[in-house]
Amino acid sequence: MTIIVTYACYPVVIQVADRRLTLPDGTLVDDDTTKSVLWDHSWLIGYTGLARIQGKPTYQWIAELLANHHQQLKAGYLDRNLALLGKEIANALTAERVKPSCKMLAIVGAGWGVPWDVGEPPPAGLRPYIWHLSNFHDKEGNSTCQIRSTVDFQVARGRPLKKTEMGVLTHGQEMNPMLWSKLCRLLRKARIRALGPNAPARLIVDAVQRMENPRVGKSLLICSLPVPTAQRDQFVLNERPNLARPSFWYSQPDGEWRVQRGPIFVDGGNIEEIIEARYGDAVSWPGKVRPDALR
């Protein structure tokens, strides 16, 4: 099971996921698994849990699910439509011929929508949301050891974030409390100092790569999505987060060769997967965000 760290603070959302795939006993299968989906230029979606559904990689299965229901999802309230999708996801998990303990799954979305109580039309009225469809989180959003037969939809905090708020959540593997507390503290300071989207992304990457958990890899896919404009911006691979356009990039501390797959793009009923192969890091960092610089 991977770790997904989702950060939302107007005007950007960021999602960081490691790319390690392990068996239930912890055996390493792959360090380059795609776990990210870009949906309709408005949502970043990652998953943690069961790696294959109906014989397909889970990220591909999620993409096909969204594409097949694109007409339904664009009509009416998104939260209600996603909740209905939870029933189809639950049925698919029930049909999987694996141990019940292996059927854990959380699909995590971060992106932009217009709340019903905001009088402004998009793009000015857009606010950041974080939501999940999960069979092992409780109503408060906390991970449990119990896997339910239902896959339930929930919005973090029960509502979108205000322009003045910051939200950061983890799904899947957990950071130790001290590392998590330090990350949240530094993210708040970076926000107060208005350091831009690159600083929180770097802080999250550093925290995940410091985790001493054999189920969490050091190779990470980082996705960022600024508030959409009236005109859809072209997505850019191998570019650090910025407020001008959406971007995706990889961070690999060992400098080894990696096949960098994904993310997969879903636009209406169409699906496109980007595959790249590079040596070492896809992008070089200008340097770490030093904690003492945020004091």
Q: What is the DSSP string of 171-200?
A: EES---HHHHHHHHHHHHHHHHTT--THHH
Percent of the chain whose predicted confidence (pLDDT) is above 70: 85
Average pLDDT over residues 47-57: 94
- pLDDT at residue 180 greater than cutoff 50: yes
Mean pLDDT score across all residues of the chain: 85
Confidence bin at 246 (pLDDT 50/70/90):
confident
CA distances from 183 to 26, 201, 211, 216, 277 (A): 26, 11, 12, 17, 31
Between 270 and 123, the higher pLDDT residue: 270
Look at residue 295 and tell me whether its pLDDT is greater than 80: no
Is the pLDDT at 284 greater than 70? The verdict is no
- Please tell me the predicted confidence (pLDDT) of residue 119: 67
Cα–Cα distance for residue pair 156/202, rounded to 1 Å = 23
Work out the end-to-end distance of the chain between its first and last CA atoms, rounded to an integer number of angstroms.
34
How far, in Å, CA of 37 to CA of 263, rounded?
Answer: 6
Kindly report the three-state secondary structure assignment for every residue of 139-164: CCCCECCCCCCCCEEEEHHHCCCCCC
56 confidence band (pLDDT: 50, 70, 90): very high
pLDDT band, very low/low/confident/very high, at 291 (cuts 50, 70, 90): very low
Q: How far is CA 25 from CA 21, 52, 214, in A?
A: 12, 16, 11
The pLDDT assigned to 76 comes to: 64
Is the pLDDT score of 89 beyond 50?
yes
Q: Is pLDDT of 282 > 60?
A: no
Share of the chain above pLDDT 90, in %: 51
**For position 281, what pLDDT does the model report?**
47
pLDDT digits (tens, 9 = 90+) for 11-43: 999 999 999 999 888 899 988 888 889 888 889
What is the pLDDT averaged over residues 244-258?
Answer: 74
Nearest to 8 by CA among 145, 166, 144, 146: 166
Q: Quick one: pLDDT at residue 286? A: 45
Q: Which DSSP helix (H) or strand (E) runs through 37?
A: strand 36-39
Taking the mean position of all CA atoms in its chain, how far away is CA 5?
A: 7
Model pLDDT, residue 184: 96
Which of 8-22, 244-258, 274-288 is predicted with the least confidence, judged by mean pLDDT?
Answer: 274-288
Q: Which of 202-206, 212-216, 234-238 has the lowest mean pLDDT?
A: 234-238
**pLDDT tens column, 105-163:** 999 999 998 876 666 777 778 899 999 999 999 877 788 878 999 999 999 888 889 98
